[in-house]
Amino acid sequence: MSMRTASAPAKTISAAQAAALVKSGDWLDYGACLVEPDVFDQALAARAHELTAVSIRSSLATKPRAVLECDPEGKHFHWFTWHYSAYERAKSDAGICYHMPPNLGEIDDYYRRFIDPIDLVAVKVRPADADGYFNAGLSSGWLRAIVERAKTLIVETSTAVPWVYGVGNAVHISEVDYIIEGDNAPLAELKNPAISEVDRVIARTLAAEVEDGACLQIGIGGMPNAVCSLLRDSGVKDLGVHTEMLTDGLIELYRAGVVTGARKQLDPGKLVFTFGQGSRFMYETVDRNPDMLCCDVAYTNLPHIIMQNHKVVSINSTMQMDLQGQAASETDGHRHISGAGGQLQFVRGAYASRGGKSFLCMSSVFEKKGVRKSRIVLNLTPGNIVTTPRMDTMYVVTEYGMVNLKGKSVPDRARAMIALAHPDFREELERQAFENRLIPRAFYRSKASDNSPVTV
């Protein structure tokens, strides 16, 4: 772990004194997710009328940010984020939040190679331990990179931050310029969405693909929660975890004894992740738990590391796919929804793993303004960003079955994707595929007749 050295011994100051260090035109960094500061943020917002063009990098904001709430027109603060939370999506819709597209596992490198030194970094951490380390709990991510690149480093202490074993999720007091006392308020919790019947159907397909000793990367949402619920009672044994985000579903599998990590090639016995957010139950489970290992995002997300575990199973959601297998998982046209995160890196890492599988999952239809639409389309919505290219897509799953696109021709891909679409849209999709030469005349039927689930 590369260490930064502060210019003078760390000094304890008030949040107002810390905020007074910020100048117009400065670049700040709040880290990501649960390390974002609160009392510093409030103190900085109180100075809004004195400042202009203060830019702040963040990711997955877990609660309303004072600097945005006090500045609804973005006259004083500019907010940039690597991945949208629901809150940041709303602020983007309001025109005061902007996306920075990453492969999440590369962000360390962006800071070290391409981003200028940061004027001020402020992050929330646990009070220093006897060895002088401030533990950042469930958030490692790119913490070490922003610490190294900070001109001024401020830590905001909070006893609510759990102490988590890790590599890269701590800051030593010798690196710190200023310490401010936080409010010790409970960490923000992430509510799990309800599980739909479509989620359950997709989950049953996925759970059947998970073998004893598989190593899981799984996202958040109703469908991943359903997968975890099914795995808990499936009889599968010795699952491992090497994931980007630690979720309540994975914690439940661990508490049930289904996740042991006993067969992992990397970090056997450990649940490896780069950040986590969920319920208080999760925060209590990870606190001083030696089975948990919170690691730098380059370690969790780079494909050449992911692939070193065997039987990696990567499960991610997408919002729209075309007939050739391109997956758009981030946007609705030009409206930004979330981010690429580590989807592509885990798709590639799982594929390269011995016995590995990657799955992209979605419901076949969705409703928009009262109109039901197919998620499987001839052409992606104009403005939609391709998160996973067609040549990387492996398994695709909807409630109508599962297909593997690896090694398939364009006509075979189109026919396989059409079979995953809702029956009400298949005939039109097939006609469009034929008219645009994705399906040759020999393969074309005048109307879609086979509406049964398919596994290819």
Q: pLDDT by residue (tens digit) across 67-81?
A: 999 999 999 999 999
Domain range 197-455, its CATH number among 1.20.1510.10, 3.40.1080.20, 2.40.50.100, 2.60.40.790: 3.40.1080.20
C-alpha span between 325 and 362 (Å, rounded)? 13
* pLDDT value of residue 20: 98
* pLDDT value of residue 454: 45
* Average pLDDT value for residue range 255-265: 97
Token pair in block for residue 280:
């208080």
Question: Cα–Cα distances in Å, from 227 out to 186, 192, 250, 258, 369?
Answer: 29, 13, 10, 13, 29
C-alpha span between 434 and 441 (Å, rounded)? 7
pLDDT higher than threshold 70 for residue 447? no
Q: Which of 36, 88, 244, 399 is catalytic?
A: 244
Q: pLDDT by residue (tens digit) across 347-371?
A: 999 999 999 999 999 999 999 889 9
- The total of other beta-carbon atoms located within 10 Å of residue 296's CB is 23
* Secondary structure (DSSP) of 369-436: TTEEEESEESSPPTTPPPSB-TTT--EEEETTEEEE-TT--HHHHHHHHHHHS-HHHHHHHHHHHHHT
User: DSSP class of residue 213?
Assistant: T
* pLDDT value of residue 444: 66
C-alpha span between 153 and 309 (Å, rounded)? 36
Token pair in block for residue 17:
């004194």
Enter the pTM of the model. Answer: 0.94
C-alpha span between 341 and 385 (Å, rounded)? 13
**Strands 97-99, 54-58: parallel, antiparallel or unpaired by DSSP?**
unpaired
Q: Which of 286-290, 437-441, 451-455 has the lowest mean pLDDT?
A: 451-455
CATH code at 17-181: 3.40.1080.10
- Mean pLDDT over each residue of the chain, to the nearest integer: 94
The amino acid that residue 208 corresponds to is: A
Among this protein's residues, is 211 annotated catalytic? no
7 vs 90 pLDDT, higher one:
90
User: DSSP class of residue 227?
Assistant: H
- Confidence tier at 441 by pLDDT (50, 70, 90): confident
Q: Find all residues with CB under 8 Å of 409, minimum gap 6, and list them.
A: none
Q: pLDDT by residue (tens digit) across 245-256?
A: 999 999 999 999
* Average pLDDT value for residue range 138-148: 97
Of all helices (H) and strands (E), which one includes residue 167? strand 166-167
pLDDT higher than threshold 90 for residue 5? no
CATH 3.40.1080.10 residue ranges of the chain are: 17-181
Residue 122: strand pairing partners: 154
* pLDDT value of residue 50: 97
CATH 3.40.1080.20 residue ranges of the chain are: 197-455
* Average pLDDT value for residue range 435-453: 68
User: DSSP class of residue 322?
Assistant: E
- Burial grade of 46 (CB within 10 A; 0-12, 13-18, 19 or more): middle
* pLDDT value of residue 451: 47
C-alpha span between 384 and 14 (Å, rounded)? 45
Phi, psi angles (nearest 5°) of residue 285: -70, -40
> For residue 241, which of 221, 212, 269, 220 has the smallest C-alpha distance?
269
- Start-to-end C-alpha separation, the chain: 46
Of all helices (H) and strands (E), which one includes residue 293? strand 292-295
pLDDT higher than threshold 80 for residue 325? yes
> Is 103 in contact with 344 (CB distance < 8 Å)?
yes
